[in-house]
Structure 1
Amino acid sequence: MLKGSIVALVTPFTERGNIDYSRLQQLVDWHCEAGTDAIVAMGTTGEATMMRHDEHIAVVSAVTEIAAGRIAVIAGNGSNSTAEAVHLTEKMDHLPLAGFLNVNPYYNKPSQRGLVLHYEACAAASDKPQLLYNVPCRTGTDLLPEHVAEIAQIDNIVGIKEATGDIQRIQQLRERCGDDFILLSGDDSTACDFILNGGQGVISVTANVVPAQLKAMVAAASAGATELALELNDKLAPLHAAMFVEANPIAVKWALSLMGKIDANYRLPMTPPELPQQQEIEQTLRTAGLI
C-alpha cells in the first residue's frame, strides 16, 4: 500500500478559498478508476502549510471517506514544529490510513540530531507506518543516509520519500537500511531511473494530471521492463518539466483547471502562474492531448 504510483494530491478550493469537497470527491474517484496505488493527502502539493489544523484533518478525513477502501490513503503529518507534527499525528491516528508522510522540519534548519529526535517523537505518536520525506530544496535540511539508517531502526518508520533526485542515494540507503525499507522517489523527472535502480515507486505531482500514464510507467519500471519504462517516461518528460515551471503546486493546479478538473484557486502566498508560464503549461497539455 506504500509502494507504486502514489499521487501527491492537490486540494481544490472554491473562489472564496474554502475546501471544494465536490471537486475533491471527483479527483479521488478519478484516481481510483485510473489505477493509482495510493493518495497522499495534505502534503506539499495539497498546500498543507497554508491550511489550519482543523482543515488539514478535515481534508484527510474526507479523502479516507471518499476512498472507502478503494485506494490507500497516506496523510501528511509534517510541520516545522515537532509539537505540531505530533499533534497532527495524534488527531489523525483514528482514521483508516495506510500511514503518514512526514517531511523534514522546514525553515528552522535543525541539526541531524534534531531531525532524528523529531522523527522519533512523531513515530511515538502513532503505531501506523510512517514515511520520512527528504526534500532539501524546500526544507533547507538534507536528511543524510547514515541518519536515515538510525531512524529506520524504529519499528513503524518503514521508508522514505527521497526527493533529492540523486540516484546514488538509492544504493546508500539500501545498504544502510536493508531490503525491507521502502524507497520512493519524490522527484518526477528522475523517478523512472530511481525505480529502475531499485526504488519501489514514486510520490508524484505529475500523477495529478496523467494518473493512468504515470501508473503504466511505474509498473513497467517496477517489472524491470526497462525499454518500455523509458519509452513511457520520455512521453511524460515534458509534463514533468511543465509541472515545475513555478513552485509546486502552482503549475499542477493551473493544469488541472485547464483540464476542467478543478478551479484555479490557491491559498496565499501561492498565486496563479505568470502569463508566460500559463502559456507553457497550456501548450504542454495540448501537445500531450490532455486539452
Structure 2
Amino acid sequence: MTAPLFKGVITALITPLRDGNVDEAAFVRLLERQIAAGVHGVVPMGTTGESATLTDAEHRRVVELCVETAAGRIRVIAGAGSSSTARTIDLVRHAKSVGADGALVVTPYYNRPSQAGLAAHFEAIADAVELPLVLYNVPGRTGVDMANETVARVAAHPNVVGIKDATGDMARASWMRAHIGGGFALISGDDASFLGYVAHGGHGVISVTSNVAPEAMVALYDAAAAGDLTTAREWQDRLSDLHVTLFRDASPSPAKYALSRMQLCGEELRLPLTPMRADLAPVMNAALGRAGLA
C-alpha cells in the first residue's frame, strides 16, 4: 500500500503578534521549538494562525517565513482556504511559489455550497495548481459538511492527497479507508479524539495541543502508531485536560495564554478575538501541570 505523503503530528501554528504586527522573531522561536520536539510538519495560516484576520500580505509573509525557517527539515502545509475559489487558487499558487510542501484548503465558509459545489471548488483548485492538497472539513466553523462520498469523488484527483477531518466522527476514517484507495492521508483535526481516529486507521493529527506540548503529542502519536495502546492512553490521560481547555475560549486565545506562561510569546490577538478569560487561568494552569508543563 502506498504510504501517505503527510502523517504524524502536524502543528497548526499560532501566529504571535506584538503591537499589532506579526512578531516574526517569536514565530521563528516557536517553529524551531516544534522542529526540535520532533513534529512531522506544521500548518502556518490555518484557523489557529488567525488567518481570518490577517491581511493578504501578512498571510503570505507568514507562509514564506515558515518555509524559509523550516528549510526542508519538516513538512510545511500552508493554510490556503477561503470562501472564494479564485482567491484560494491564488493562495495555493503563492504557497507553491515559496516552496511549501502542500496546502490545507478548508470547505468554503458562510456561502455554504452544495456537495456539487464543494466538489467543483476542490477540483478547480487541484486543476489550477500542481501542489498536494489536503481537504479540511470542519462543519462546526464553516456551516457545511463535506460528505464522505464527495471526499471520495475529489480524492480521485491526483493532486488531492488527504483530508483533515475535524468532525470528531471516528467512523468516517473507517469509511474513507475502505472506499478511497492509494495513500490518501487521513488526518484528525480534533486533538481530544485523535487516539480513537488512529485506531480507526488515521495517519496523524493537525494539532492545536502540539503548539503547547509538542514532545508529548509526538510521544502519543509514536505509541499509537506502534500499536502500544497502553502507553498511548497514558499520554492521552496526561493531555486530556489540555485538549479540552485549549478550546474553552475562542481558539487560539487559550494556546497563546499557555505559551505566554511559558515565556515563548505574548497573548496578543487581533479583534474580534480577545485574550483568554481570566477565570480560566487556574484551569489552564492545572492542565499544564497535568501535562508536565508547569
Q: Same fold (TM over 0.5)?
A: yes
Q: Which residue of 2 aligns with 1:96?
A: 99
Maintained 8 Å contact 2:9/2:206: yes
CA distance 1:153–1:30, shift in 2 (3 Å): same
Return the match for 2:144 from 141, 145, 152. 141
Q: TM-score, normalized by length of structure 1?
A: 0.97
Matches within 5 A, 1:121-270: 121-270=124-273
Q: CA deviation at 1:163?
A: 0.6
Two-structure CA RMSD over aligned residues (Å): 1.1
Q: Which residue of 1 aligns with 2:40?
A: 37
The code of the aligned residue for 1:46 comes to G
4+ residue runs of structure 1 moved beyond 6 angstroms?
A: none
Maintained 8 Å contact 1:145/1:176: no
Matches within 5 A, 1:48-127: 48-127=51-130
Q: Which residue of 1 aligns with 2:7?
A: 3
Q: Distance in 2 between matches of 1:183 and 1:47?
A: 24
**What are structure 1's unaligned runs of at least 5 residues?**
none
Q: CA deviation at 1:124?
A: 2.1
The code of the aligned residue for 2:48 comes to T
Maintained 8 Å contact 1:196/1:226: no
Maintained 8 Å contact 1:89/1:125: no
Q: Distance in 1 between matches of 2:67 and 2:140?
A: 30
Residues 80-124 of structure 1, C-alpha deviation per residue, up to 9 Å, x if partnerless?
Answer: 111111111122221221111001111111111111111112112
Residues 16-59 of structure 1, C-alpha deviation per residue, up to 9 Å, x if partnerless?
Answer: 21010100110111011100100101000000111111110100
SS in 2 for 1:7: strand
Residues 206-232 of structure 1, C-alpha deviation per residue, up to 9 Å, x if partnerless?
Answer: 000010110010111111111111121
SS in 1 for 2:49: coil
Maintained 8 Å contact 1:163/1:186: yes
Maintained 8 Å contact 2:95/2:103: no
Residues 149-169 of structure 1, C-alpha deviation per residue, up to 9 Å, x if partnerless?
Answer: 000011110110001101011
**What are structure 2's unaligned runs of at least 5 residues?**
none
Q: TM-score, normalized by length of structure 2?
A: 0.96
Q: CA deviation at 1:233?
A: 0.9
SS in 2 for 1:48: coil
The code of the aligned residue for 2:274 comes to T
Maintained 8 Å contact 2:154/2:160: yes
Count of residue pairs the alignment pairs up: 290
Return the match for 1:13 from 2, 17, 27. 17
